[in-house]
Amino acid sequence: MVEATDKYAVPFVYRKHFSPEESTQLVSTFKGYDKNSDGKMDVKEFQGALKDMGHDEVSEAQSQALLARFDADKSGFIEWVEFLDIMQQVKVKGKKSGSDFLAQEIKGVGGGHAITGTSGTVSIYLDEEVSSFARCINNELKDCELVKERLPINPEN
């Protein structure tokens, strides 16, 4: 485990993915947006860091979707190691372009969808979420006369 004094040290497992210069840049970016120096970023700080890395198009809703995707401990914050996980994925999976990988994650490519509303808000959902909700609705409302003609909902679409 990383000592408190080494809060922003890049663990050995990540060093094979990042050069010393890249590691320094990652530490600098994270420290710059970890405003209260608690070792984690909230969604606003995370959104600012993404914008600082050249992703100006990222909305708060998209930042929240990315946070949810990579927040391993479901704390609602991106901690240092989770940030390194994101950057590792950007580098490894997005070899052509880290921006392409982030764009895919933001838009929900690979089993998900993004819908932009008339006000510009973006809603992102996964196919497995749709399937789970459909099964839940079918199960909970199967005996309800008010919606009987609309059930069962197909969990595949």
DSSP character string of 5-48: GGTT---HHHHTTS-HHHHHHHHHHHHHH-TT-SSEE-HHHHHH
Report residue 122 as tokens.
């973006």
Nearest to 58 by CA among 2, 128, 114: 114
pLDDT in the model for residue 121: 65
Range(s) of the domain holding residue 130: 111-157
| Token pair of 12 as six digits | 């050995």
Residue 2 lies in a domain: no
Predicted pLDDT at 5: 45
Check residue 105 and give its pLDDT: 61
Mean pLDDT across 118-132: 70
The answer to whether residues 85 and 70 touch, using CB atoms and an 8 Å cutoff, is: yes
In a domain, residue 1? The reply is no
Here the CATH number for the domain that contains residue 20 is: 1.10.238.10
> 13 and 37: one domain?
yes
Query: Is residue 24 in some structural domain?
Result: yes
Q: What angle do CA 68, 73, 78 make, to 5 degrees?
A: 55
Residue-averaged pLDDT of the chain: 76
Q: What is the pLDDT of residue 93?
A: 56
Q: How far apart are CA 32 and CA 102, in angstroms?
A: 21
Give this prediction's pTM. Answer: 0.54
Note whether 72 and 13 are same-domain residues.
yes
Domain tally for the chain?
2
Q: Percent of the chain having pLDDT more than 90? A: 3
Would you say residue 46 lies in a domain? yes
User: 47 and 86 in one domain?
Assistant: yes
Residue scoring higher pLDDT (106 or 90): 90
> Comparing 1-15, 33-47, 80-94, 139-153, which segment has the lowest mean pLDDT?
1-15
Helices 43-52, 60-70: axis angle to 10 degrees equals 100
